[in-house]
Chain A
């Protein structure tokens, strides 16, 4: 049951290499054309436009992939995902409230902090619910309800926002986008995302113990409650700040663990190290496609990032549902 065809270390290294290759490609693709941007403004385009976008795709994707692996292990549910559970939606709602009413304009860190607060609140609500119904479909349903509530409040907030363009920007927040982000966004998102990833990466033993049942986990000295609290905290950090600058990108956290299990086996702790670079590579690849689309197709703007991840993720969800059906 636990056997995989490769080791987490070897797979992580290979995925890290894939990330490096994709990052190199990513620096070569933009609306100014393919290849290294030349001319007097070449450096500016490379460092101020393409670099922050590339780094954010890796960070946000890594945070989503790792959170998905931890949530699926901790909640013992193959459908757990920060997007599906409404944690991303709550983070986006927090960020929107901080952005459109000017708080982030006066104090830039208000944006990621509000994202963290939203994600933290969403995580706490789910955790409270999980205390009563620790796993199974009811938790996913609670997450779906939370996600719908967050989306409705997001639409309401953007309707009430004082800037007339706000409502038209709902797709950016619901589907996610990394278009025209700057080094400031990178500086705001990186510390919490990295801290969250560090917390989540340390949960391997706790998740493995939890997979044997809560009583066994407690007897092994890693109580389930502590593991779940740290999982919620780490997810809020890793997802909240990312969603604050990139919007709610769905399905990355859902898909990544399922892609890795055939290679690494079922043990939740074994998935963690590889799910970080896998999520990063997946989101960066999606963002590359999003940028290539207007160069190849008659589009006057990029499709949203979440459109691509949903095109990949929704069939995946169906496949999981079919496998789970009796």
Chain B
């Protein structure tokens, strides 16, 4: 709720921007979904299919390194960043007369709606924002609470589990599941000792790491699992509803 208040407090710029640079993977995806024709620069991460929902479209759009010098070179009239961005870079851009729009990282669907509207207004494409929200809500409406309740754990790289207040928790609950995760690190032994009904993991990446290999430990092979493309869960956006849909109708049921 605090995030919504924060978003509403930020006044939308008076005139819609035409050349927009994004400095964060999450704002990259919103910018591509809302106004691909206005992209003056995305982060290189936007092109990584393992991280970005819009990787295919981003492949044909310009990318820019998130440094003040590189951004100024693109002569944008709006810069999108998260409130966690390097503050020195943002301060330098603002001193140079650029408008910087800082947004939070949504961890729930009401905040995703509010942020989509806010960014759509700033980009002068309010109707596209409403269309994205309508499609997201239609997808979310397909999910219903499971009876009997299904206890699920969303288990990510290095064993970090979703818990109250996280985007993962919102996704599990929106899919009608009960979030059995407590947030923080969930140890392999602790998971196996109290196995959930459903283990939700990110789809194994093409190139491994110890952090992601843990999720395939043979001791977890007895737990029913669903794999979700991580790009749907890294940033909260209208596309996050697709993760809900994958969980609401898990493959093989």
Contacts and interface: CB of A to CB of B under 8 A. Distances in A.
Interface of A: 30-33, 37, 39, 41, 44-45, 48-49, 99-102, 104-105, 161-166, 168-169, 172, 180, 182-184, 300-301
Contacts of B192: 32, 41, 44-45, 48-49
**Which of A102, A163, A182 has the most chain B CB atoms closer than 10 A to its own CB?**
A163
A180 B209 contact: no
B207 A45 contact: no
A105 B187 CA distance: 23
B10 interface: no
Nearest to A300: B185
Interface residues of B, number: 26
Interface stretch (B102-110, B162-170, B217-225): B217-225
B218 A182 contact: yes
A162 to B, nearest CB: 4
A247 B212 CA distance: 17
B217 A180 contact: yes
Interface in B181-220: 184-185, 187-190, 192-195, 205-212, 214, 217-219
A30 B185 contact: no
B207 A31 contact: no
A165 B222 CA distance: 26
Contact of B211 (A39, A162, A168): A168
B208 A100 contact: yes
Contacts of B210: 165, 169, 172
A315 to B, nearest CB: 30
30 contacts: A31-B190, A32-B187, A32-B190, A37-B189, A37-B193, A39-B193, A41-B195, A44-B219, A45-B192, A45-B219, A48-B218, A49-B189, A102-B206, A102-B207, A105-B208, A163-B207, A163-B209, A163-B211, A164-B51, A165-B210, A166-B209, A168-B211, A169-B211, A180-B188, A182-B217, A182-B219, A183-B218, A300-B184, A300-B185, A301-B185
A37 B36 CA distance: 55
Interface in B62-105: none
Main SS of chain A's interface residues? loop
A102 to B, nearest CB: 5
A102 B208 contact: yes
B12 interface: no
Interface of B: 51, 157-158, 184-185, 187-190, 192-195, 205-212, 214, 217-219, 222
A29 B208 CA distance: 29
Nearest to A38: B193
A45 B189 contact: yes
A44 B185 CA distance: 20
A78 to B, nearest CB: 35
Nearest to B193: A32
Contacts of A102: 206-208
A100 B193 contact: no
Nearest to A162: B207
Given A163-B208, A168-B211, 20 more contacts: A30-B189, A31-B187, A32-B187, A32-B190, A33-B193, A41-B192, A41-B194, A44-B192, A44-B219, A45-B189, A45-B219, A48-B218, A49-B189, A99-B208, A102-B206, A161-B209, A163-B209, A163-B211, A165-B209, A169-B211
B221 to A, nearest CB: 9
A168 B184 CA distance: 18
A100 B207 contact: yes
A201 to B, nearest CB: 32
A316 B73 CA distance: 57
A32 B188 CA distance: 9
A276 to B, nearest CB: 28
A44 B207 contact: no
A99 B210 CA distance: 9
A183 B226 CA distance: 24
Contacts of B157: 165
B212 to A, nearest CB: 7
B193 A165 contact: no
Contacts of B188: 31, 49, 180
Given A44-B192, A300-B185, A101 B207 contact: yes
A45 B217 contact: no
A30 B190 CA distance: 9
A301 B188 CA distance: 12
